[in-house]
């Protein structure tokens, strides 16, 4: 049976990739997006060119508009909530906009799901930033990276929440609303706390989407600034692997409903943001990349990689694309589509 999907932020990086997948298999899709994000209009054109304008519905709207999102959710079987403000640095500069986009916006989406009367499946794209700086977790410094001293498998879902930065607070608020609506109202919600997602159709900028940004900047000759010591470690997850998890949440909703899962590359797909990324990028580019250096930025964790065993054990999910393969894919796409940048 084909399902009716509502994708908030459906013209963004993750959203447009998921819409492409859904349309490829014949699902009904409504994109709900304010088209403010860099690249969103280009992604929308790509989808129209790939499938035709009549194959999906576009609602140009903002999740801060409660009535509009409620109307758009009336026929949805599945809601995937991706829309919102996405950068820690931006949240520090403009915390009100961040709050309204993420905390209030997510409240509007869960209320839309509740008020629809259809009990749709609701998947929320949360973030590893809900764990804050994890100051209680011991770290070790190595030549090219920081790492956890004792969390061999990475940060588990049981790690205490510590919303460090307005972005962490706003996304964490949404995280808890989505989770609690499963408990209080019986909604079939799933929270995915996502690590660094990267891949094709990602128009990364300095403040967000660092893997894509470094690749774009290297290929197009834009200046690169590395903040902190460059040994900050992240687990990175290729977008196709993330979308597999979205599909599994729908397929296995009887298991997933009301649950929270960490989704990232896990300990097998970690990389320091420059000390280890630079050699890989320079090898693909065929030249040395000169960079400027800047101070640590607010809320920047020295280490984050997720313990992803819960998703593997309960949903049968695990990453398939390793770091080198994923970076090579994204590098190739940026190079072949240089005119987009």
Residues designated catalytic: 167
Whole-angstrom distance, CA of residue 52 vs CA of residue 320: 31
Instruction: Locate 305 and state its tokens.
Output: 């990689």
Burial string for 226-239 (b: 16+ CB within 10 Å, else e) reads bbbbbbbbbbbbbb
Whole-angstrom distance, CA of residue 261 vs CA of residue 254: 15
Of 192, 162, 197, the C-alpha closest to 256 is 192
Whole-angstrom distance, CA of residue 117 vs CA of residue 106: 18
- Three-state DSSP at 85 gives coil
Report which secondary-structure segment, H or E, holds 3.
none
Whole-angstrom distance, CA of residue 78 vs CA of residue 250: 8
In what order do the strands lie in the sheet containing 188-194?
A: 57-60, 28-33, 4-8, 78-81, 121-127, 188-194, 259-263
Burial string for 194-223 (b: 16+ CB within 10 Å, else e) reads bbbbbbbbbbbbbebbbbbbbbbbbbeeee
- Three-state DSSP at 79 gives strand
Instruction: Burial-class residue 160 by CB neighbours within 10 Å (0-12, 13-18, 19+).
Output: exposed
* DSSP per-residue codes, 12-48: SHHHHHHHHHHHHTT-EEEEEE---STTHHHHHHHHH
User: What ranges in 192-238 are assigned the alpha helix state H?
Assistant: 210-220
Q: Residue 107 in contact with residue 35, Cβ under 8 Å?
A: no
Q: Residue 204 in contact with residue 210, Cβ under 8 Å?
A: yes
End-to-end, the C-alpha distance of the chain in Å comes to 39
């Amino acid at each position: 049976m084909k399902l009716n999907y509502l994708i908030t932020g459906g013209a963004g990086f993750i959203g447009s990739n998921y819409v492409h997948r859904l349309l490829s298999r014949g699902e009904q899709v409504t994109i709900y997006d304010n088209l403010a994000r860099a690249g969103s209009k280009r992604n929308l054109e790509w989808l129209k060119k790939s499938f035709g304008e009549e194959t999906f519905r576009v609602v140009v709207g903002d999740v801060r508009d409660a009535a509009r999102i409620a109307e758009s959710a009336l026929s949805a079987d599945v809601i995937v909530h991706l829309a919102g403000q996405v950068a820690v640095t931006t949240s520090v500069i403009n915390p009100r906009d961040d709050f309204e986009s993420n905390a209030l916006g997510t409240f509007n989406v869960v209320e839309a799901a509740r008020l629809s009367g259809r009990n749709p499946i609701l998947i929320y794209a949360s973030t590893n930033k809900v764990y804050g700086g994890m100051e209680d977790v011991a770290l070790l410094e190595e030549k090219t990276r920081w790492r956890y001293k004792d969390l061999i498998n990475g940060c588990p879902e049981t790690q205490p929440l510590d919303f460090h930065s307005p972005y962490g607070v706003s996304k964490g608020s949404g995280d808890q609303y989505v989770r609690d609506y499963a408990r209080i109202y019986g909604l079939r919600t799933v929270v995915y706390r996502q690590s660094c997602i990267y891949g094709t159709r990602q128009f990364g900028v300095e403040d967000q989407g660092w893997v894509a940004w470094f690749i774009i900047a290297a290929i197009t000759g834009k200046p690169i600034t590395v903040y902190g010591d460059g040994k900050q470690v992240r687990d990175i997850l290729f977008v196709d692997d993330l979308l597999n998890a979205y599909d599994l949440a729908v397929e296995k909703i009887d298991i997933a409903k009301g649950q929270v899962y960490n989704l990232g590359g896990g300990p097998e797909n970690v990389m320091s943001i420059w000390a280890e990324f630079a050699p890989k990028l320079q090898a693909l580019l065929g030249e040395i990349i000169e960079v400027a250096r800047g101070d640590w930025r607010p809320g920047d964790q020295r280490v984050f990689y997720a313990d992803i065993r819960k998703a593997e054990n309960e949903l049968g999910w695990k990453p398939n694309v390793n770091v080198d393969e994923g970076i090579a894919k994204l590098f190739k796409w940026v190079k072949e589509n240089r005119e987009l940048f």
